């Protein structure tokens, strides 16, 4: 993959959260949308490899940094060695857990000079997002069970016409969110982690019921018109391995 340009490290809570979100989206992409490419690159015959997520949304499988100590926390080393000795699903879950640990360590490395309130705010913002492990294993965060009442959830999920056809009805979603911004404005894209925005097309997975930017899962409103049951990248790869 292309070399990522080095930029100044993030310093504010918002900058670090943006950095975290970009790295997280990149890692999730490697373990879901691009999972076959990622799996191939993690050749056990190669040296110790790491999965890096970059702030711009790019991921990379490569050797660890040579500096000792490293400039910043490093991902888990040698993820490729366990690939062929484990069930594929279990191996991806293991990489996801290590990736979550790495993402948090990088965020709090950048925020090492924060005071208690700033650290708490940063963690609170990060904790609003599903972990990489939850996305990869299709586990719903506890927040999804308690953060929305059953009536709200049913309204968000009822996006079908009487014949079962999925509709690209961003208008319906806009109306619901327009009426209850305070209650549902915290809905997050399952890939990039960004908050809901009424001027963008979103689509819900019919399996895990998470919401996604159309652009993040490469679905346009026109494509959505012809989809009877939409499965997100994580659910699609999970079904394919069963």
Tokens of 161: 């016409």
Nearest to 155 by CA among 84, 209, 115: 209
**Residue 204, phi then psi, degrees to nearest 5:** -105, 140
Instruction: Please check whether residue 21 is in contact with residue 192, taking contact to mean a CB–CB distance below 8 angstroms.
Output: yes
Instruction: Please check whether residue 193 is in contact with residue 135, taking contact to mean a CB–CB distance below 8 angstroms.
Output: no
Length of the chain equals 242
DSSP letter (8 states) at residue 165:
-
β partners of residue 61: 51
Encode pLDDT of 189-229 as tens digits: 888 777 777 778 888 888 888 888 888 888 888 888 888 88
Percentage of the chain surpassing pLDDT 70? 76
Query: What number is the average pLDDT over the span 61-89?
Result: 90
Encode pLDDT of 11-24 as tens digits: 899 999 999 999 99
Encode pLDDT of 116-142 as tens digits: 999 999 999 999 999 999 999 987 655
Would the pLDDT of 165 be above 80? no
């Amino acid at each position: 993959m292309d070399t990522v340009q080095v930029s100044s490290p993030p310093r504010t809570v918002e900058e670090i959260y943006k950095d975290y979100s970009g790295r997280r989206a990149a890692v999730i992409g490697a373990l879901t949308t691009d999972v076959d490419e990622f799996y191939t690159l993690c050749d056990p015959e190669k040296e110790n490899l790491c999965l890096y997520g970059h702030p711009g949304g790019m991921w990379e499988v490569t050797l660890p940094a040579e500096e000792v100590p490293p400039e910043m926390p490093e991902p888990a080393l040698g993820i490729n060695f366990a690939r062929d000795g484990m069930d594929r699903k279990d191996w991806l879950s293991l990489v996801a857990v290590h990736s979550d640990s790495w993402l948090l360590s990088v965020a709090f490395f950048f925020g090492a000079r924060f005071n208690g309130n700033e650290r708490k705010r940063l963690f609170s913002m990060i904790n609003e997002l599903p972990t990489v492990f939850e996305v990869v294993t299709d586990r719903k965060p506890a927040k999804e069970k308690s953060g929305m009442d059953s009536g709200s959830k049913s309204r968000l999920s009822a996006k079908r016409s009487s014949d079962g056809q999925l509709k690209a009805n961003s208008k319906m979603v806009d109306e619901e969110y327009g009426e209850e911004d305070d209650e549902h404005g915290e809905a997050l894209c399952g890939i990039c982690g960004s908050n809901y925005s009424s001027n963008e097309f979103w689509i819900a997975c019919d399996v895990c019921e998470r919401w996604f930017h159309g652009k993040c899962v490469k679905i346009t409103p026109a494509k959505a018109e012809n989809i009877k049951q939409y499965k997100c990248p994580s659910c699609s790869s999970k079904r394919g391995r069963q």
